[in-house]
Amino acid sequence: MTRLVDVPAQFDDRSFDQFAASYSRARAEGGRLLFDAHAVEWGSPYGLVGLLAAGHAARAAGGEPPLLTVPKSPEVLSYWGRAGFFLAARELFEIHGAQPRAKPAADSDVLLPVTAVRAAEDVHEVVGHIQQRATAILSSELGIDPKATMGFAMALSEACQNIVEHAGTGGWVAVQSYQWRRRLARRVVVIAVADAGVGFQASLAPTHGRRYGDRWNDATALEAALIQGVSRFRDPGRGQGLKGIRNYVSRWDGKLTIRSGTARIAIVPTWDDDVPLTEGLPPFPGSQVLLIVPEQKARH
């Protein structure tokens, strides 16, 4: 029996919960999953790595590999190809529909195509790529303050390391620039990281769950990690990575969200109307991180 998972037409962090709900329902019903992306008109980096995480989780559940119907829009299909989505997706899905054959192009908007992260070497590759390609683009073309580019590689490194250090499995990262149309109306640079690993609650439970008692859940785990800086490691130096990302994002008027399980926590800038903590979301495996750095000068 095939169960349908709808991929929203506008597939980004705002519609991700809708996607998670569809995924969750389909998984609960059992059977082979079909991820239907034929109607997608826009897929952000967050949507793309999230879709890969869902495919990974479905594949890891055993049985036949999940199915994926590609977007019918040639523009969307082309972008997903340039963003490196299909190179990763082919390892997870049985793909139905024409795929772009060309390798990801050196597109100035795609600062880092979808890249698998499994080990420290992958993080080195990612940081090296960004340092070589993106730093000049960030400051000259996107008007990102040169000082903001300094911490960008650091924030990217720490976001990827959460997969290596805590997820218990691999994940994906993508970095892209685009026009943020909601309220801000500026160009932004986005780092999206996703895995289908154990998630924050399970990762921190053995070392921190007991003191929360019945209050221990996805939301308290995210708060403990991002706000209090706790780590599953007892080493006093641990927990610095998310704190560092948070400080970087706050300093450059950016946004940070981390979704894990049924909750999402956010550092919300003035240009956004998101809320700091959301609970009771449709469950989704692993962790999904979104960093947004806006252009530092307004364009008219």
Partner 1 sequence: MIRSIDVSAVLHQAVRATYADLVTRATGRAVREHIEQAYAAAPAPVTRMDFGGVRCIDYSCADEIVAKLLRERIHVLVLRGCSEAHLEALTPVLEGHGLAVILERADGTLDGLGRRESAMALLDELVQAQLAARTAGGAVALVEA
The answer to whether 93 and 66 have CB atoms below 8 angstroms apart is yes
Q: Is 228 in the site for partner 1 (CB under 8 A)?
A: no
Stretch that binds partner 1, among 8-16, 74-82, 105-113, 234-242 (CB under 8 A): 234-242
- Residues 131-150: x/- map of binding to partner 1 (CB under 8 A)? x---------------x--x
Stretch that binds partner 1, among 45-53, 195-203, 237-245, 275-283 (CB under 8 A): 237-245
Q: At closest approach, how far in Å is the CB of 274 from partner 1?
A: 25
The Cα–Cα gap between 239 and 224 comes to 10
Q: Which is nearer to partner 1, 46 or 152 (CB)?
A: 152
Q: Is 4 in the site for partner 1 (CB under 8 A)?
A: no
Q: Which is nearer to partner 1, 124 or 182 (CB)?
A: 124
Q: Is 253 in the site for partner 1 (CB under 8 A)?
A: no
Q: At closest approach, how far in Å is the CB of 134 from partner 1?
A: 12
The answer to whether 229 and 206 have CB atoms below 8 angstroms apart is no
Stretch that binds partner 1, among 3-11, 19-27, 104-112, 127-135 (CB under 8 A): 127-135
- Residues 42-81: x/- map of binding to partner 1 (CB under 8 A)? ----------------------------------------
The Cα–Cα gap between 154 and 160 comes to 10
Instruction: Kindly report the number of other CB atoms within 10 A of residue 107's CB atom.
Output: 13
Q: Is 241 in the site for partner 1 (CB under 8 A)?
A: yes
The Cα–Cα gap between 19 and 13 comes to 10
What is the footprint of partner 1 within residues 160-199 (CB under 8 A)? Answer: 161, 164-165
What's the full length of the chain, in residues? 300
Stretch that binds partner 1, among 4-12, 118-126, 167-175, 176-184 (CB under 8 A): 118-126
Tell which residue, 132, 175, 162, 108, has the closest CA to residue 287.
Answer: 162
Q: Where are the beta strands (DSSP E) in the chain?
A: 2-6, 10-11, 32-36, 42-43, 67-69, 94-96, 110-117, 171-180, 186-195, 255-261, 263-267, 277-278, 284-294
Instruction: Enter the tokens of residue 27.
Output: 């998984």
User: Helix or strand or coil: residue 257?
Assistant: strand
Instruction: Kindly report the number of other CB atoms within 10 A of residue 59's CB atom.
Output: 17
Contacts with partner 1, residue ranges (CB under 8 A): 120, 123-124, 127-128, 131, 147, 150-151, 153-154, 157-158, 161, 164-165, 236-238, 240-241, 243-244, 247-248
